Amino acid sequence: MTLPLSGHVALVTGASRGIGAATAEALAAHGAHVVLTARTAGGLEEVEDRIHAAGGSATIAPLDLAEGDSIARLATAIGQRWQALDILVMNAAMLGDLAPVPSIDGKQFNQILTLNLLANQALITNFDAMLRRSARARVIALTSSVGAKPRAYWGAYGASKAALEALVLAYADEVEQLSSIRVAIVDPGATATPMRKAAFPGEDQATLKSAGLVGEAIATLVVDDFATGFCTRIAG
């Protein structure tokens, strides 16, 4: 039986744990070859092992997306092996400390914006040509409700996500009539992840949706079709 994403190449950032890892595994289960990237090589190897054990295909690329020309080097390496990139999932993000706006640490805010916003713009820049060569390219950006609805003490993280949404939706509008690229923004909602645990240390994560459910929902979105600029919040 041919799987729906057989022959497709996917890149998932922040793929060593949480939603990124679950999305990578779900895409691989649907037949995609998944390139896994994150800073933690050990976590990536564990995800790769699970994908291979389930009969899927994956390659790991440990790197820091916020470091110098790391994204350009990644694009060069992927471009040397594959002609096109079919799926780009921009999941990697940094929460930072929750603080009142006047107390936001400038150095950390710069780190948040670098990873949550600038690195994603660099991903689009460096992979745009490969996405355009795909017959059915799909770009998924992960966001948060605080990007659209500001919340006290979440100003730094929320600002990064609001800017990311504006950037990604502009790209969606730019490519709609010129390529097969379709772009979606996904808000996973309250999910049992390490980032969520850091933000809400007293919360019972057993009451939240699993990262696996979110990953499968993202993979289903990729397999199915959607209009570019589509924005959705995953229920559960």
- Write the pLDDT tens digit of every residue in 27-55: 999 999 999 999 999 999 999 999 999 99
- The structure's pTM equals 0.96
Catalytically annotated residue among 157, 158, 164, 211? 157
Residue 234 pLDDT greater than 80, yes or no: yes
Residue 4 to residues 104, 129, 130, 171, 223, Cα–Cα distance (Å): 45, 23, 20, 26, 7
Structural domains of the chain, ranges and CATH numbers in brackets? 9-233 (3.40.50.720)
Asked if 157 is an active-site residue, the reply is yes
By the 8 A CB rule, do 152 and 101 touch?
no
Furthest-apart CA pair in the chain: how many Å?
A: 57
By the 8 A CB rule, do 24 and 12 touch?
yes
